[in-house]
Chains A and B, each alone.
Chain A
Amino acid sequence: MALRQTEMRPMGKPIGRKEDPRLIRGKGRYVDDVMLPNMLYLCIVRSPYAHARIRSIDTSAALAAPGVKLVLTGEDLASMNLAWMPTLAGDQQMVMATGKVLFQYQEVAAVVAETRAQAEDAAQLIEVDYEPLPVVVDPFKALAPDAPVLREDKEEKSNHIFHWEAGDREETETLFRDAPVIVSQKVRFPRVHPSPLEPCGCVADYDPAKSKLTLYVTSQAPHVHRTVLAMVSGLPEHQIQVISPDVGGGFGNKVPVYPGYVIAVAASLKLGTPVKWIETRTENVASSHFARDYHMTAEIAAREDGKVLALRVKTIADHGAFDAAADPSKFPAGLFSIVSGSYDFKAAFVEVDGVYTNKAPGGVAYRCSFRVTEASYLIERVMDVLAQRLGMDPAELRLRNFIRKDQFPYKSPTGWVYDSGDYEKTLKLALDRIGYEELRKEQAEKRARGELMGIGISTFTEVVGAGPAHLFDIVGIKMFDSAQIRFHPTGKVIARLGVRHQGQGHETTFAQIIAEELGLSADDVLIEEGDTDTAPYGLGTYASRSTPTAGGAAALCARRIREKARKIAAHLLEVSEDDVTWDGIAFSVKGLPGRSVSMKDVAFAAYTNIPEGLEPGLEATYYYNPPNLTFPHGAYIAVVDIDKGTGAVKVRRFLAVDDCGNVINPMIVDGQVHGGLTEGFAIAFMQDIPYDADGNCLAPNWMDYLVPTSADTPHWETDRTVTPSPHHPIGAKGVGESPNVGSPAAFVNAVVDALSPFGVEHIDMPIFPWKVWSILREHGISE
């Protein structure tokens, strides 16, 4: 249960959320709630083909339809130099197709009309003459020498996008050569989609009288969106205001700039009126950027006692028609080389090859710090394969191989420096809380009776909080983040940050950080994000980076304020600055605890009673460049029962023990964990976006791309250990993604564990009932 926002020393307390009063009243302002005078509506015509040349587009009937103000095609955009736009991964993407289409549901034409219905009516009247071309769906076939080359705009006439590697190939090969035990497993992480409940959308409002573009957009990274728009459109950046209003969930879906935004901007520039584009769910699932789609093979070299030696990973990354990952520039496979996970490997070597196919572009980091989800799933899955091969308990194997507490800061074989962790403590707490020994006994009894029960463990390590700036940038912009704090004369605070929350509760947690640093209650601090005209520049909210970066900025910015406040306090207390101490609530004179002034007094004085020589006012800005990433970790345990007759899996229990360093608001952390587990559960058991041989998307909406309801979702149990980050200003690490990163392996490991008596070592996600049934049938098991 929530505590009041008026609590003093709010850090670590379950303060009730400040954003909720408007949201529970239906008074949030999401992008579709933005209704401007004379606003027009945009509807996009999309390709029914996955690969086809466009012979002609006839827009005449659409132009003549009632209410239609404008029709745009790729050729029209080309004349405005807007036919292509950069992706955040350094590739380029067609805004609307010119020449040919490369995936089903690709943007081909657009209609702007007075009402949504008229725009949809007219869109139906646009006739496109397509000449179908051979379709490439399989990323392995895309690499074959005779495969049709999809991207005619690229210099390299190949579907191969990039080769990327990390680690030490030679040392890894040597260890493999002499290893007594080698296990190898192919693992696919399916193509999934973040699918926030609110689809993407925008209102582009170009005011010719002011030469100013205001773009209301569902954005997790409004400042980056502004810069990209300036680069694409040629509009001066100070004449563009991006406003990301209340965002109805993001999960990585709302990091990229989508063609619909650019088309809406182009239409508003042409018409001089506001143009709204709101994506349908089908457009969201079938065309906005997907996540994952990694075809991975991992090999572990180990000793017979289970001690791991080396790890070798090869991956084919299917990016679809455009490399539209939102990865930092120097990391085409994101942070995938974290794949050695929580274990002390002597060496590792990781290779990833990116491939184009005739599918929707991607892949974004869906509740994931740039491919750490794929990495974590792979290592946690393959560790279980090793345990099974050696006949060891998976918990025992993990305990034997963990990076020990005294090894931190730990340099991984692929070059990461893990800040802190206590993996043994976390796993032991999880084993104890779930009653691991008893569960194993129960499982043995059930097996004797022919019943199928499984226990799955995942002890993942996350890597979040990009920067530091020297390593990470997006389209050249370094990955720092920022905070700006301003005291008003009466002691109330407004703080603005460069990130943009979408449900994470920043209006509360950042208020808590600042209030804690300044001796206030969260109630005294108003947090604002998402308006590029007022907030300091920042890279946005994704990859669990808000607390590690903007959270750090908020704390350090508050401390910068406190430094000036100390001078004012000394003036008010009529002592020298050296004689002033801060006790967390007030400044007082050393040795005279009775003589004190609060921050409220200081703020008032900053505007009314300034000491000689000091600048009036009390505000500060801080751009925080973190010295390293943070490395949250956790131990998750799933318990499943399998119905032998139907193959259906029931998750009986799931315990998540997370360690995300110091906790700002435990209620919010638990909420983040519940949500991420639910998304991980869906990925493990129900989500995939398959394509047929012609490139037709077979799960383009929520009838077939399955999102779990309350009736499907298990009851989650949570617990925590706390290992603070040694380098973060408040010792926090970030948590939003841990449950999505760590849980898929726990689910799959549990199902495989249940089926392990039949020699089953792996099942690819999503684990639909038919897959389990097929395995049971192969082994002659039925009801």
Chain B
Amino acid sequence: MSRSSANQTPTRPRPTRAPSSDYRGPVDREWISLGDHRKRNTAILAIVAIILTIFIGRLIELQGFRGSALASEATGQRLKEIALPAARGAITDAAGNPLAVTVQAYNVTADQTLIADPVAAAAAMAPILSVDPAALAARLSGTRRFVYVAKNITPENWQRIADLQLPGILKEGTSKRVYPDGSLAANIVGFVGADGKGLGGLELGLQKELAGTDGTQTYERGQGGRAIPTAQHTKVEAVAGSTVKLTIDRDIQYVAQQAIAEQVAAAHAQSGTVVVMDPHTGKILALATAPTFDPNDFSKARSSDMGNRALSDVYEPGSTAKTMTMAAVIDQGGANPTSAFTIPGTLKRGDKVFHDDVAHGTWHLTLAGILAKSSNLGTILASERIGSRTFNSYIRKFGMGAPTGLNFPGESDGVLPAYKDWSQTTFPTLVFGQGMNVNTVQAASVYATIANDGVRVTPSIIDSVTAADGTVTPGTTPEETVVVSAKTAKTVRSMLEMVVSKDGTAPKARIPGYRVAGKTGTAQVAVNGGYGRDVVASFIGMAPADKPELVVAVTIVKPRVGRWGGQLAAPVFKEGMMSALKTRHVPPTGTVAPQIPLKFGKNG
């Protein structure tokens, strides 16, 4: 409107009295004819109109066309959006003792331009940060406005640095994952990377539950960085991660870790694992591996030490698997513990000649004697009373070749050939524990089944997950499978007790006052299709034998000093079992183990 009026102004029809001014002659036609108030008004009106037009045009431009963009730009200058990081959930043992927690930490930063005397500043800070003063001085000298001086220092140490009141030294808040017990249960708990995300163990496996959801806060910043109260303000609260409670008992875990570490070192073995289980609930009370690492500082750790060998490493179980064969034979009524077997020195099955660990003439052993002496040939003879098909169904019910159900990162299910692929030598090989692969937890689960009166309870390691709002989700519900009858389980336990007798292979596993049942294993490690010198020495057992409350499995891989399960693994079993009995308050039953004859006939 005003634009058009401005254009029209010169051509607007003159007022009716205008012609009279034409009489005034040349002088009056000059520009200085503003003395005439009408002309003056017209001129002023024109100027005002022009200015107004400019203003209004600009106003329309700013408000109408660029308005929203400019407004958001302005708000953007004041608006500050900050991430509200969700606190990572803790991992605790069964009693709630923390195994992994997240704490406040600080990064120390420097503005080099503000540091007048880098050498003096470095000298003051170096002892607190435990770094070389010269290197620190170099880091503080220069013209950069932002450099990191130290990362992830404790709040106490930051306070000590702040107390020095050094100009140009600033902090940056961060958080740090801390493992208060260091390497204790490290191979279960796992570790996190520099970004705080899980990289191994349950830290990785439960990343989603532990991480929580980050929030954001947006506000307009006033002087001094404080929020302007009346301005726009949005806040999406962070949801903290869930706390995970494991079934692990810190004290049993500690003793198990100590014991296996000492034995692995003493035997110059490649590695070793201990599994402690409650057979009635399937809960894993300790899962120790050696060598281990410190999740607080794993920069120098070997990656092979950072997984969980009890789940990721599989080996041929060897003689410990004979327990499954015996249970199957007894459950099917193929033999009883006193059934007599005459065992020759060698046995040919298919195209292969089988031997025992020690060369011998003809042995006259009972079924219990076969187990106590760990005779491969005797086991083959016993297993032939039930046949391969029945044997196959039993070992699958014992959980061989199937996932443990722990869903642990890097877990291996082991290898058990499908029944249709079995050759003539597969069955006689499998019955004494060669020709298949299992991990230590799978092997322990077999003995837990015998301990739990023939009912297999799937192992578990997560007791519960507690969300930030207090909702408790129990870990996976254990599945129960009846594998053998309670009577069979009891009979097998009494046979396993004979293994620990002074005539058996593992007298070193005995615990004075207690009845212990268990089985040694010394399995050869397959190399390029054959078997070399390397072995896996193991012992798996339970106590008290007549009313088992605990199962402990020990595996020592490739020992260089010593060889036999009864010699290397049994003492570790004893340590772990004694600690578990004390911690879980399992008193001796006070009963006496029945004696089953191991031999018969003239040498029996």
Q: Do A and B bind each other?
A: no
Query: B residues within 8 Å of A by Cβ?
Result: none
